[in-house]
Amino acid sequence: MKMEVSVMKRRMLALFLGITLTMGMVGCSNSSNSTTKDNLQSNTLAGDTAPVESPPSENATFKNPIIVGLANVFTTSDPQNTSSITNQIFYTVSHSNLLKWDYDTQQYMPDLADSYDVSDDGMVYTFHLNKDAYFHNDEPVKASDIIYTFNRGKDFSFVAAKVQIIESMKAIDDNTLEITLSGPSTGFLFDITNPNMAILSEKALTEMGEEGTTIGSGAYYYEAIDFGNEVTMVRFDKYFKELPKTETLIFRQYAEDATRVIALQTGDIDYCQTPSTMELEYIAADDNLDLIQMKGTRLNYMVMNVSEEHGAPFKDIRVRQAINMAINKDDVAAVAANGFGEVQNYYFTDISAGFYGGMDGYNYDVEAAKALLADAGYADGFSFSVLCHDSTARAIAPVLQAQLAAIGVTMHIEEVETAVRNSMIKNNEHDACMAAHVSLVSIDNNLRLLFYTDSGNNRMKYTNSEFDAKLDAALIEQDSAKRQEMYDELQTFVVDEALCVPLYVETLNIAKKSSLHGIKINATGCHDFTYAYIEE
Amino acid sequence: MHRYIAKRLLMLIPVLICVSFVIFFIMDLAPGDPALIIAGDQATDEMIEKVKEDYGFNDPLLVRYANYMKGLVKGDLGTSYVSKKDVWATYCQRFPATAKLSVAAIVVSLVLSLTLGVYSAVNQNTWKDNVSVVLALLGLSMPQFWLGLLLIIAFALNLGWFPSGGDTGTWKCLVLPAITIGTNNAALMTRTTRSSMLDVIRQDYLCTARAKGVSEKRVINHHALRNALIPIITIAGVQFAYILGGAVLVETVFAWPGVGRLIVDSINMRDIPMVTGCVVITTMIVCVVQLLVDILYAYVDPRIKAQYTK
């Protein structure tokens, strides 16, 4: 009975935390446009310190090491060469950016740049760098390193799109950098906070080659890397901000969900990344563990290939609308996410500054779906294949298959590896595919990534020059109210076009020892472990 | 003997050429464009084309294979497309964990199978024999990942005797994965031991030994078991080589940093140099282990040693 009460208390606390965080984000995102605008013109930044979740006592000693159990594999030390959230967790600890984005306050925070100035035309940014910042090879961080990093990024797809707006860069002196854009951009500052834009050491890369990507200016340096298994990071004593309390962080991959949770229960690890929803009740029932749940930012959706080259049936908007209306998303979330998902009729989440949630989308209505199909000339239905590349996709697809059968549409599930799926999509060889999108900080980035012509994640192969032009116009619009209006219109437009079937946003589950504090939790899943500690 | 060993080592060369070509060919046939993986899914066509040019993906298969073999001859197994790390260095980082686990697992297998197999043969057609056979069947039919999870729940979670996973550098972390692999392997070896012992146990020379007053324990352990060892060594050698190639399921369940997971992860990421390099090294190891097994025959059975000498 006592345990039940304790479990209930924990669940209530988790729910309260989740609601508080989500509400906070919603509240911030509604006003984020003006906040963003203010910051764009501001040259002062609020200080960045360790989270004060539960301050340790003065003479406290701290557990060493802290071991983080990861579900996914760490594949590269090069921040410019990946968009994986798991990889990015490492870069938040090992590297620094010019600025950071604080998801809680929806504000820019200082990182390598203490402050910055923006010219009146919004095209010239001058960053003033922290003079105490050093790389892990004991070299000071200089303006030239930032120029080198951004130039290097032009060869990497994840960075190229972010630096293409930069026309020129000039090191005024070692600690002052001037960046001139080819046009005003409201997305530039967002972009430089992305872990892909972490600053690398020119000297390290010149002397060490690719190995030099391990050299950052973050709070921890890499002591040992075993890709796909374990990474050991040690506190960098010349870190330019407050030093972490924990000396060593170990990140270890536990690919098997059950083992990862058991490792947390036995104390072999201190933090468990994305525990399986099947295991949550055990975590909640354990007095030594905390289960934190919050709305995540990862939307699962089904993509329909709407390109002219691919042809019928999805180039017809009525067919796409019918597919959208034939899906009961509650059932999908209940089956595929064991109920830990929030159904959604649009593509992005309120974590994105500029998010608009006012559109209706398409609700479940089988009869209306049938009528639309008949109207489009598919009264007897049609068949198509959907590519499924991971466990989530494989869990969702059978539910969609059964629901679409109700309107006479036959969906063939084609299970393929990620590499095969990506090749097929790139070559426009797919009818449809399952996909997931983690909402980015900027709504512009989200819209651009998913719907802009020829964008890497435009798996629908959607081409609309009018949409592209409007998105480009919004990016350079300096009037925040007008810009928001443009983004609202664009978000409504892509939902109305029914290019995909948005399904549900996964609940973000976090399991950790109750004694573990100081993690900066982030709805994207890219948590910051810089100031993680356990008081002994 | 030395000539035999030299001959066997020379035979490695054509084996490695064949294996490397087959794996190179298979990876080339496999769907999924490695250039797209390297460039990232947000890459433009120009970026992908540049990667193809830089990595030589536009060259014909045979040209690429020849280039790979040129490197291999110089001891260069290439660089991972994904981590950009040297393949040999990455393999060497993982191999100690695999080697440790393989040795521990084969020790568990041998202890279990020799004990059960001999006991079963000595007590043929009794309930003791039946129990041993059932135990062997149980070990054989139990999926490794399931047994692994059961052991973790029992001995890590509930009793807290052993760590739940990972290679923490202590002997304790080896126990559960070694038992998981060892139990499964022991099942087959138990049956082999039993049948091999039954072949030997009624031989005339054992009756002679008994008639001379040699104790039953010495008859079984010294005279019978030694003569029954050849098939057991053969099976043990094959299984040892198999585990050295990587026990993917057990490595996954126990978060064990072995070669198996490295190969599977690399296949999923179409990391051709890593897959080819790992397979080539594993082939070499398997061949060397088989050679060692053949040499071991000579020490166990003097008649075979005599054949080598001829």
Burial B188-226 (b: 16+ CB within 10 A, else e): bbbbbbbebbbebbeeeebeebeeeeeeeeebbeebbbe
Contact (CB, 8 A) for B156 and A262: yes
As a whole number of angstroms, the distance between CA A155 and CA A171 comes to: 22
Burial A97-116 (b: 16+ CB within 10 A, else e): bbbbbbbeebbbbbbbbbeb
What pLDDT shows up at residue A52? 52
Domain annotation covers residue B280? yes
Least confident interval from A154-163, A425-434, B54-63, B292-301? B292-301
A487-522, pLDDT tens digit by residue? 999 999 999 999 999 999 988 899 999 999 999 988
CATH number at residue B94: 1.10.3720.10
Q: Do B279 and B139 belong together in one domain?
A: yes
Q: Which residue among A227, A255, A454 places its CB closest to the CB of B252? A: A255
Check if A436 contacts B (Cβ < 8 Å). no
- Counted domains in chain B: 2
As a whole number of angstroms, the distance between CA B266 and CA B251 comes to: 15
As a whole number of angstroms, the distance between CA A402 and CA A408 comes to: 10
Query: Which 3 state secondary structure label does DSSP give A127?
Result: strand
Is residue A468 predicted with pLDDT exceeding 90? Answer: yes
What pLDDT shows up at residue A21? 35
What pLDDT shows up at residue A51? 55
Sign of the dihedral defined by the CA atoms of residues A12, A67, B270, B27, in that order: negative
Q: Do B192 and B290 belong together in one domain?
A: yes
Domain annotation covers residue B149? yes
Query: Which 3 state secondary structure label does DSSP give B86?
Result: strand
Residue A161: closest CA among chain B residues belongs to which residue? Answer: B42
Residues in chain A closer than 8 A to B145 (CB atoms): 256
Which of B48, B73, B98 is the last residue before a domain boundary? B73
What pLDDT shows up at residue A8? 41
DSSP state of A434: E
Q: Do B123 and B225 belong together in one domain?
A: yes
DSSP state of A239: -
Per the structure block, which two tokens stand in for B93?
A: 């980082």
Q: Are strands A500-513 and A341-343 parallel, antiparallel or unpaired?
A: antiparallel
Q: Which residue among B90, B152, B153 places its CB closest to the CB of A227? A: B90
Sign of the dihedral defined by the CA atoms of residues A423, A428, A429, A430, in that order: positive
Sign of the dihedral defined by the CA atoms of residues B69, B70, B71, B72, in that order: positive
Strand partners, A528: A520
As a whole number of angstroms, the distance between CA B141 and CA A469 comes to: 63
Q: In this structure, what are the phi and psi dihedrals at residue A463, rounded to the nearest 5 degrees? A: -130, 120
* Closest to B251 measured CA to CA, from B143, B98, B90: B98
**What single string gives the DSSP state of each residue in A354-400?**
T-----------HHHHHHHHHHTT-TT--EEEEEE-SHHHHHHHHHH
Computed over its alpha carbons, how large is the radius of gyration of chain A?
24
Residue A389: closest CA among chain B residues belongs to which residue? Answer: B268
Q: Model pTM?
A: 0.81
**What single string gives the DSSP state of each residue in B45-57?**
HHHHHHHHHHHTT
Q: Do B51 and B111 belong together in one domain?
A: no
Q: Do B57 and B123 belong together in one domain?
A: no
Which of B28, B46, B73 is the last residue before a domain boundary? B73
Q: Are strands A383-388 and A410-415 parallel, antiparallel or unpaired?
A: parallel
Q: Do B108 and B224 belong together in one domain?
A: yes
Is residue A115 predicted with pLDDT exceeding 90? Answer: yes
* Closest to B260 measured CA to CA, from B181, B179, B175, B194: B181
Q: Are strands A124-129 and A248-253 parallel, antiparallel or unpaired?
A: unpaired
Q: Do B137 and B59 belong together in one domain?
A: no
pLDDT band for position A12 (50/70/90)? very low
> Is B40–A81 a contact, with Cβ atoms under 8 angstroms apart?
yes
B132-191, pLDDT tens digit by residue? 888 888 888 888 889 999 999 999 999 999 999 888 888 999 999 999 999 988 888 898
Q: How many CA atoms lie within 13 A of B40 on its CB side?
A: 25
Residues in chain A closer than 8 A to B274 (CB atoms): none
Domain annotation covers residue B266? yes
- Domain range for B59: 2-73
Is residue A464 predicted with pLDDT exceeding 70? Answer: yes
Check if A288 contacts B (Cβ < 8 Å). no
Domain annotation covers residue B206? yes
Is residue B122 predicted with pLDDT exceeding 80? Answer: yes
Q: Where are the alpha helices (DSSP H) in A201-274?
A: 202-208, 257-266
Distance from the B258 Cα atom to the nearest Cα atom in chain A, whole angstroms:
9
Strand partners, A234: A221, A248
Domain annotation covers residue B78? no
Amino acid sitting at position A249: L
* Closest to A142 measured CA to CA, from A100, A109, A172, A108: A172
Sign of the dihedral defined by the CA atoms of residues A48, A54, A60, A63, in that order: negative
Per the structure block, which two tokens stand in for A4?
A: 């039940």
Is residue A77 predicted with pLDDT exceeding 60? Answer: yes
Is residue A28 predicted with pLDDT exceeding 80? Answer: no
Domain annotation covers residue B268? yes
Contact (CB, 8 A) for A419 and A344: no
Per the structure block, which two tokens stand in for A231?
A: 């990474």
What pLDDT shows up at residue A37? 29
pLDDT band for position A524 (50/70/90)? confident
Domain annotation covers residue B82? no
> Is B165–A456 a contact, with Cβ atoms under 8 angstroms apart?
no
As a whole number of angstroms, the distance between CA B118 and CA B198 comes to: 9
Q: Do B42 and B142 belong together in one domain?
A: no
Mean pLDDT of chain A: 86
Q: Are strands A113-118 and A500-513 parallel, antiparallel or unpaired?
A: unpaired
Residue B157: closest CA among chain A residues belongs to which residue? Answer: A266
Average pLDDT, integer, range B83-101: 91
Contact (CB, 8 A) for A462 and A454: no
pLDDT band for position A54 (50/70/90)? low
Contact (CB, 8 A) for B260 and B275: no
Contact (CB, 8 A) for B255 and A259: yes
Q: Do B41 and B162 belong together in one domain?
A: no
> Is A259–B270 a contact, with Cβ atoms under 8 angstroms apart?
no
Question: Which residues 367-396 in chain A show a CB within 8 A of chain B?
Answer: none
To which H or E segment does residue A108 belong?
strand A107-110
Average pLDDT, integer, range B221-226: 84
How would you classify residue A376: left for phi > 0, otherwise alpha for psi between -120 and 50, otherwise beta? alpha
Q: Do B55 and B135 belong together in one domain?
A: no
Check if A416 contacts B (Cβ < 8 Å). yes
As a whole number of angstroms, the distance between CA A204 and CA A94 comes to: 14
Distance of CA A511 to the CA centre of its chain: 19
A59-73, pLDDT tens digit by residue? 789 999 999 999 988
Q: Do B103 and B241 belong together in one domain?
A: yes
Cα–Cα distances in angstroms (integers) from residue A386 to residues A304, A431, A505, in the given order: 9, 6, 20
Contact (CB, 8 A) for A65 and A142: no
Is residue B27 predicted with pLDDT exceeding 80? Answer: yes
Which of B45, B73, B101 is the last residue before a domain boundary? B73
Least confident interval from A6-10, A428-432, A482-486? A6-10
Average pLDDT, integer, range A29-44: 34
Computed over its alpha carbons, how large is the radius of gyration of chain B?
24
Residues in chain B closer than 8 A to A226 (CB atoms): 93-94, 257
Quick count: other Cβ atoms within 10 Å of Cβ B28? 13
User: Does a cis peptide bond (omega within 30 degrees of 0) precede residue A313?
Assistant: yes
> Is A160–B270 a contact, with Cβ atoms under 8 angstroms apart?
no
Q: What is the ipTM of this complex?
A: 0.80
DSSP state of A139: P
DSSP state of A53: S
Is residue A38 predicted with pLDDT exceeding 70? Answer: no
Query: Which 3 state secondary structure label does DSSP give A131?
Result: coil
Average pLDDT, integer, range A302-307: 94
Domain annotation covers residue B184? yes
Q: Do B31 and B176 belong together in one domain?
A: no
Average pLDDT, integer, range A330-358: 87
What pLDDT shows up at residue B90? 92
Chain B interface test: which of A225, A227, A250, A270 (most B C-beta within 10 Å): A227
